[in-house]
Amino acid sequence: MKSAATIALAGLAALAVAMGIGRFAFTPLLPMMQHDRGLTLAQGGWLASANYLGYLLGALYAMRSRLPAAGAIMGSLLVIAACTLLAAATDRFVLLLVLRLLPGIASALVLVYVSAWALEALAAAGRPGLGGAVFSGVGVGIVCAGVVCAVLVAMAATSATAWIALGAIASIATAWIAPVVRGAGSAAPGPAPAHLRASLWPYWRLIYAHAAFGFGYIIPATFLPVMARHALGDSPLFGWAWPVFGTAAALSTLACARLANRISVRATWAASLVVMAVGVACPVVLHGLGGIVIAALAVGATFMSATMLAMLEARRIAAGAARRLMAAMTTAFALGQIAGPLAATGATVESGFGGVLVLAALPLLVAAYLLARGR
């Protein structure tokens, strides 16, 4: 039997690959691709949306999937590593859309299956507190991708080089994870309890909160490096906005796990959404680099904590059927983050993201209120 620390580290690495590379590596790569491939901001939005659509499809599939955890996790990680490497080899926009869609599907499966497997395994081992370490993997992956891109920008390397470097990292991590997750969830999950088979309506507050979260965070998460580059010009410092975002994400999950044990998971979740709303709106009132740094810290410090707290709350109230509720919440999140870039379609760095950022912050405040008021 694997130790709790090994399980937590494998979960961390899986989320680092799935989310930090499969989902969010495109964010620091977008300015590089604009520079050396002539990618427009509108095309960047379409590529981001393809990934978000894939995430939605993966979450929908996870709601009904009866795949064993090991197969779902390892198959998805291999898809992410392969697509990351292949993105270096083509400039064809249609192919790039496909290479963003597939990792989106895979990353949703990894998030749902790793959340269910790792939290259950850690609870069985008597170490549920290590769940914070598992979810810090997303921040670790974001920092890794951001630092790789920032260093390569300073070296005047191409975006193709960055895709290859990140694909190699994903491949190595996947090879290490394989023996740890082997045999995990070898049996298909049993049927959900009757109340979950009948309706997810009793959990509408949780589902709405995750949808508002998806919509609210995605504008800064997608365009933060672009906004930073505009503020800093050609200075390579713009590339460090994303590592700051990821560092805040990694550290916050550990802190929020402790806070949730002291007060409650739901109260901590609601508070994190308020902090996120403040961060999303910050560049509207504080222009220039200062507003961008505060946004990176506030959104980065809450976006993965909100995910972790949502998964913990789903496991707490849905018990053995947690994976279905996790998948439903992830589906709502995916719908929200698809709507986000579409809302920003008409925005440009020159005209400002102000109105879109305010629009993104409001649903987060509503979600925080509903979580605080609900049982």
What sign for the dihedral angle of Cα 322, 139, 70, 56?
positive
Question: Looking at per-residue confidence, does 119 or 342 come out higher?
Answer: 119
Backbone angles phi, psi at 345, to 5 degrees: -55, -40
Residue in 13, 20, 51, 44 with CA at minimum distance from that of residue 243: 20
Question: Looking at per-residue confidence, does 185 or 271 come out higher?
Answer: 271
Which CATH number goes with the domain that contains 20? 1.20.1250.20
Mean pLDDT of 3-24: 93
Tell whether 135 is covered by a domain.
yes
In this structure, what DSSP letter does residue 187 have?
S
Mean pLDDT of 214-228: 74
If you compute the radius of gyration of the chain from its CA atoms, what whole number of angstroms results? Answer: 19
Q: Per residue in 87-134, pLDDT tens?
A: 999 989 999 999 999 999 999 999 999 988 998 899 888 888 888 889
246 close to 140: Cβ distance less than 8 angstroms: yes
Q: Report the distance separating Cα 17 and Cα 169, nearest Å.
A: 8
Tell whether 341 is covered by a domain.
yes
Region of poorest pLDDT, from 131-145, 258-272, 332-346, 357-371: 332-346
Q: Report the distance separating Cα 103 and Cα 93, nearest Å.
A: 16
Give me 129's structure tokens.
């507190």
191 confidence band (pLDDT: 50, 70, 90):
very low
Q: How many domains does the chain have?
A: 1
Mean pLDDT of 256-263: 86
Q: Report the distance separating Cα 25 and Cα 329, nearest Å.
A: 23
Mean pLDDT of 221-245: 64
Amino acid type, 372: A
- Report the alpha-carbon angle 340-224-9, nearest 5: 90
Q: Per residue in 58-85, pLDDT tens?
A: 999 988 888 888 999 999 999 999 999 9
Q: Report the distance separating Cα 301 and Cα 226, nearest Å.
A: 20
In this structure, what DSSP letter does residue 17 have?
I
* Per-residue pLDDT at 188: 41
349 confidence band (pLDDT: 50, 70, 90):
very low
- Report the alpha-carbon angle 8-52-101, nearest 5: 95
Tell which phi-psi region holds residue 352, choosing left (phi > 0), alpha (psi between -120 and 50) or beta.
Answer: left
84 close to 167: Cβ distance less than 8 angstroms: yes
The residue assigned the tokens 């978000």 is: 52
- Which domain range does residue 348 map to? 4-184+200-373
Q: Per residue in 132-153, pLDDT tens?
A: 889 989 888 988 888 898 899 8
* Mean pLDDT over the full length of the chain: 84
Tell whether 350 is covered by a domain.
yes
Q: Report the distance separating Cα 263 and Cα 260, nearest Å.
A: 5
What sign for the dihedral angle of Cα 70, 254, 52, 101?
negative
- What are the residues whose beta carbons fall under 8 Å from the beta carbon of 11, sequence distance 6 or more? 114, 117, 118, 133, 134, 137
Tell whether 214 is covered by a domain.
yes
Mean pLDDT of 32-57: 88
115 close to 73: Cβ distance less than 8 angstroms: no
Q: Report the distance separating Cα 187 and Cα 169, nearest Å.
A: 30
Backbone angles phi, psi at 35, to 5 degrees: -75, -45
pTM, to two decimals: 0.83
Tell whether 39 is covered by a domain.
yes
Reported residue count of the chain is 375
Tell whether 189 is covered by a domain.
no
- C-alpha distance from residue 338 to each of 48, 112, 326, 341 (Å): 9, 18, 18, 6
Q: Report the distance separating Cα 304 and Cα 309, nearest Å.
A: 9
Q: Identify the three-state secondary structure at position 190.
A: coil
Q: Report the distance separating Cα 188 and Cα 307, nearest Å.
A: 25
Tell whether 132 is covered by a domain.
yes
- Report the alpha-carbon angle 311-97-173, nearest 5: 50
Tell whether 192 is covered by a domain.
no
